[in-house]
């Protein structure tokens, strides 16, 4: 058998290596238009930021080692320019010699990745305007930083790669400004969680514009640039990093007549097979049925690309036997001292897809509060109000965020419920967790909501509610004095049982405390005395840090 794989990084290289392990005698050719194969795309921002100091560390394998170890022919600087599905051939262009030639295949794998979006904005093609997609881009940016005096950089686009670039540039001492056209950064988060992310970024001296697109890049005489925003603001910068987003690199696939999805990704079935049974596709170039939303989406993540590669190789060699079950978009990004992560679908996405859900916000410690080094985290989960199935989780904190998002990821992937969160048996010793893990706590609170043991109101509604409803701050007088929600009156939790007569029975009572726990206890006392009560999800702390 003869296999050709187009694209030799995450998805492609994984497919090729696994094919070899399954079939020692196959002829395997990997085609890569770039100079490098099998490199760590995800490390590129950190290499720019000097966090990864040794450029060699970015390379896992090269063409020679692929030959030696896997007996795979890797053709670098070779671009696949056309697929001829009926003849089972590909036309290749040798970028050194500029000569074309064809190779036949029995099975073809597309792992051509994604292409960065470059909107037709004046000045976008001028010098020192970069996208970060591969080693070449990275070398260019690194050289500019090293050789020119870059004092100020502008990152256009607040997705996770933009944010990583912002962090790394800041780390190098470059003043950085982030511009995002959408109303918020980090689209994988809900607006409220994104506000927390924004605060963290601003606290590190970075200027952030949201709701404001790039409208023009002008070159100045001194080598600097003037950036003009959609709202008319202008400022000077030395370098521009575009991370506005990517699109599936579907050029070859489209021309070959393969079915393409609504979002531009190559459509594959669960075996990674395209509409042509001899062509498979994996990685950023595909789109796939989303396990939560009833739609298909591209997945621009390395984990799924690697896993799809292995599955694809199995199916190519052994016939279609192994299924890919979709990605729940588990995402994580380090932002200075904080870690920001999410899995499943956020509220915005769920709303767009008309999926009923309740959200619940909790605050927890990374490990036992009595043991040194514990740090706070905020967790927001979304779940189905009837079945309790967990639909998504978002977390911001310092330590232990990656752990909790991974645990939530298993529950989202397996369509498990709030009950499962409650039962989660964490490894508990004081340095690592608490007797009730943050995941359990999110489960307990959601369970109370589902069982109507507690009714909640959401932080985004707090101000409106405060204008017309009976609002009680159940924190201590000291906490109340230091700041509260407008119009709230103060009845401390531990005194509540003695002040019941002061509370009207004909109105819904809205309570809140610092994080939600005392508000919950207050609501239990009141409800059992015949009041109708709502507790503020996430408490004063979350409200204050977002809409307050």
Ligand X SMILES: CC(C)(COP(=O)(O)OP(=O)(O)OC[C@H]1O[C@@H](n2cnc3c(N)ncnc32)[C@H](O)[C@@H]1OP(=O)(O)O)[C@@H](O)C(=O)NCCC(=O)NCCS
Ligand Y SMILES: Cc1cc2nc3c(=O)[nH]c(=O)nc-3n(C[C@H](O)[C@H](O)[C@H](O)COP(=O)(O)OP(=O)(O)OC[C@H]3O[C@@H](n4cnc5c(N)ncnc54)[C@H](O)[C@@H]3O)c2cc1C
Exposure on the CB side of residue 134, measured as CA atoms within 13 A: 17
H-only helix segments in 319-468: 347-352, 401-413, 418-423, 438-450, 462-468
Contact of 484 with 490, CB cutoff 8 Å: yes
3-state secondary structure of 451: coil
Q: Which of residues 10-69 bind its own copies (CB under 8 A)?
A: 10, 20-25, 40, 42-43, 46, 51-52, 57-58, 68-69
Q: Does 224 bind its own copies (CB under 8 A)?
A: no
DSSP 15-68: HHHHHHHH-TT-EEEEE-SSS--SB-GGGHHHHHTTSS--GGGGBS--HHHHHH
Q: Residue 208: what are its φ and ψ, rounded to 5°?
A: -125, 125
Q: Does 52 bind ligand X (CB under 6 A)?
A: no
CA 415, 420, 422, 428 dihedral sign is negative
385 binds, among ligand X, ligand Y, its own copies, none (CB under 5 to 8 A by kind): none
Cα angle value 299/303/309 (rounded, 5°): 85
The span from the CA of 508 to the CA of 503, in Å, is 10
7 binds, among its own copies, ligand Y, ligand X, none (CB under 5 to 8 A by kind): ligand Y
Contact of 77 with 16, CB cutoff 8 Å: no
Q: Does 11 bind ligand Y (CB under 6 A)?
A: yes
Q: Does 318 bind ligand X (CB under 6 A)?
A: no
Q: Does 225 bind ligand X (CB under 6 A)?
A: no
362 binds, among ligand Y, its own copies, ligand X, none (CB under 5 to 8 A by kind): ligand X
Exposure on the CB side of residue 118, measured as CA atoms within 13 A: 16
79 binds, among ligand X, ligand Y, its own copies, none (CB under 5 to 8 A by kind): ligand Y
The single residue among 2, 27, 35, 40 that binds ligand X, judged by CB under 6 A, is 40
The single residue among 93, 441, 450, 488 that binds ligand X, judged by CB under 6 A, is 441
Number of residues that bind ligand Y (CB under 6 A): 35
Contact of 253 with 81, CB cutoff 8 Å: no
Is 42 annotated as catalytic? yes
Q: Does 299 bind ligand X (CB under 6 A)?
A: no
Residues ≥6 apart with Cβ < 8 Å to 198: 184, 185, 208, 210
Instruction: Decide whether 39 or 470 has the Cβ nearer to ligand Y.
Output: 39
Instruction: Decide whether 237 or 364 has the Cβ nearer to ligand X.
Output: 364
- What secondary structure letter does DSSP report for 79? E
Q: Does 258 bind ligand X (CB under 6 A)?
A: no
CB atoms near residue 509 (< 10 Å): 20
CB of 129 to ligand X, least distance (A): 25
DSSP 205-222: T-EEE-S--EEEEEE-TT
Contact of 88 with 278, CB cutoff 8 Å: yes
Sheet bearing 331-335, strands edge to edge: 331-335, 338-344, 390-397, 376-383, 358-365
Q: Which of residues 428-447 bind its own copies (CB under 8 A)?
A: 428-433, 435-437, 440, 444
Q: Does 437 bind ligand Y (CB under 6 A)?
A: no
Q: Does 83 bind ligand Y (CB under 6 A)?
A: no
CB of 102 to its own copies, least distance (A): 28
CB of 329 to its own copies, least distance (A): 8
369 binds, among ligand X, its own copies, ligand Y, none (CB under 5 to 8 A by kind): its own copies
427 binds, among ligand Y, its own copies, ligand X, none (CB under 5 to 8 A by kind): its own copies
Instruction: Decide whether 79 or 384 has the Cβ nearer to ligand Y.
Output: 79
Instruction: Decide whether 302 or 332 has the Cβ nearer to ligand X.
Output: 302
Q: Does 215 bind its own copies (CB under 8 A)?
A: no
3-state secondary structure of 481: helix
Residues ≥6 apart with Cβ < 8 Å to 269: none
The span from the CA of 493 to the CA of 317, in Å, is 66
Instruction: Decide whether 7 or 438 has the Cβ nearer to ligand Y.
Output: 7
Q: Does 308 bind its own copies (CB under 8 A)?
A: no
Residues forming the site for ligand X (CB under 6 A): 9-10, 13-14, 17-18, 21, 38-43, 60-61, 302, 306, 310, 362-363, 435-436, 441, 444-445, 448, 515-517, 520
Catalytic residues: 42
Residues forming the site for ligand Y (CB under 6 A): 6-7, 9-12, 31-34, 41-42, 44-45, 79-80, 111-113, 132-134, 161, 249, 252, 283-285, 300-303, 305, 428-429
């Amino acid at each position: 058998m003869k296999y050709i794989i187009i694209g030799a990084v995450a998805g492609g290289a994984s497919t090729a290596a696994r094919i070899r392990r399954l079939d020692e005698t196959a002829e395997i050719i990997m085609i890569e238009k770039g100079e490098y194969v099998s490199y760590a795309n995800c490390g590129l921002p950190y290499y720019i930021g000097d966090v990864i100091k040794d450029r060699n560390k970015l390379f896992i394998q090269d063409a020679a080692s692929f030959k030696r170890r896997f007996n795979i022919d890797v053709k670098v600087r070779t671009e696949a320019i056309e697929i001829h599905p009926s003849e089972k051939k590909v036309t290749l262009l040798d970028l050194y010699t500029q000569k074309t030639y064809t190779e036949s295949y029995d099975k073809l794998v597309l792992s051509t990745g994604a292409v960065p979006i470059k909107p037709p904005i004046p000045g976008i093609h001028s010098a020192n305007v970069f996208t970060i997609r591969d080693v070449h881009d990275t070398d260019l940016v690194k050289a500019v930083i090293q050789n020119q005096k870059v004092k100020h950089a502008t990152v256009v686009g607040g997705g996770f790669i933009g944010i990583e670039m912002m962090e790394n540039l800041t780390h190098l001492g470059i003043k950085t400004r982030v511009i995002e056209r959408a109303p918020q950064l980090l689209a994988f988060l809900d607006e409220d969680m994104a506000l927390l992310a924004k605060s963290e970024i601003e606290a590190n001296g970075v200027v952030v514009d949201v709701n404001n697109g790039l409208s023009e890049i002008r070159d100045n005489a001194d080598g600097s640039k003037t950036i003009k925003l959609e709202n008319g603001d202008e400022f000077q910068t030395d370098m521009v990093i575009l991370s506005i987003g990517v699109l599936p690199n579907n050029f070859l696939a489209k021309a070959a007549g393969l079915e393409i999805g609504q979002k531009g990704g190559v459509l594959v079935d669960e075996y990674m097979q395209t509409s042509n049974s001899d062509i498979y596709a994996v990685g950023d170039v595909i789109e796939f049925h989303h396990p939560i939303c009833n739609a298909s989406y591209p997945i621009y993540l390395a984990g799924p690309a690697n896993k799809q590669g292995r599955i694809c190789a199995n199916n190519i060699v052994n016939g279609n036997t192994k299924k890919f079950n979709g990605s729940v978009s588990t995402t994580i990004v380090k932002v200075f001292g904080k870690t920001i992560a999410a899995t499943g679908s956020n509220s915005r996405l769920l709303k767009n897809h008309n999926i009923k859900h309740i959200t619940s916000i909790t605050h927890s410690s990374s490990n036992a509060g009595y043991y040194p080094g514990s740090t706070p985290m905020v967790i927001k989960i979304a779940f189905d109000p009837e079945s309790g199935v967990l639909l998504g989780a978002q977390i911001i904190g310092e330590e232990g965020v990656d752990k909790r998002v991974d645990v939530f990821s298993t529950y989202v992937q397996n369509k498990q419920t709030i009950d499962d969160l409650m039962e989660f048996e964490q490894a508990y010793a004081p340095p690592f967790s608490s007797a009730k893990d943050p995941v359990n706590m999110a489960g307990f609170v959601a369970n109370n909501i589902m069982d109507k043991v507690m009714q909640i109101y959401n932080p985004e509604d707090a101000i409106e509610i405060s204008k017309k409803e009976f609002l009680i701050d159940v924190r201590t007088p000291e906490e109340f004095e230091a700041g509260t929600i407008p119009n709230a009156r103060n009845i401390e939790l531990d005194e509540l049982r003695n002040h019941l007569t002061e509370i009207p029975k004909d109105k819904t009572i809205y309570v809140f405390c610092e994080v939600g726990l005392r508000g919950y206890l207050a609501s239990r006392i009141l409800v059992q005395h015949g009041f109708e009560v709502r507790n503020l999800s996430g408490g004063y702390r979350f409200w204050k840090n977002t809409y307050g």
